[in-house]
Amino acid sequence: MNRRMFLAFIALGSAACPLGVPPEQATLSSLRSDIFEPRCGFTGCHGGAGAAAGLELVEDPFAALVEVPSTEDAAMMRVAPGDPDASLLFHVLQGPVGSTGQMPVGSELGAEDLARVEAWIANGAPND
């Protein structure tokens, strides 16, 4: 399934679910509260001192992610605004990349959450 069809499918499903945040409305603050803090930060992996790969997602995820060169893959940015395919974050949420396992550890993001991350990056990864 190509990316546009995938996003259209997710958007239609989100419209039917009033509690969900449609991908096109994804913001950093919604990703932070719904995904980064509960699934990445407070597990101990990416929260507080000693965060894995130096990636702290609770205090200031924007500074830790956007336009920051990846320590895992020198050819990629952690988040390349406007380009999910050049963003390591998007790839590791889809599945393992090189020596980096799939994130978050121990569980996969659902299709809706993955589409929200992709849309936020595609929309320029704004700091809201």
Name 122's Cβ contacts closer than 8 Å, sequence gap at least 6: 82, 83, 84
Answer whether residue 111 is part of any domain: yes
Q: 64-93 pLDDT, tens per residue? A: 899 999 988 888 999 999 999 999 999 888
- CA–CA dist 71, 91 (Å, integer): 14
Distance in angstroms (rounded) separating the CA atoms of residues 29 and 75: 27
Q: How far apart are the first and last CA of the chain?
A: 31
Average pLDDT (33-45) is 79
Quick: pLDDT tens for 86-119: 999 998 888 877 767 778 777 788 899 999 999 9
Q: Domain containing 82: what range?
A: 39-128
Residue 11: count of CB within 10 angstroms of its CB: 16
Residue 1, domain member (yes or no)? no
Domain count across the chain: 1
Query: Whole-model pTM above 0.95?
Result: no
**Residue type present at position 121:** I
Rounded to the nearest 5°, which phi and psi values hold at 78?
-60, -50
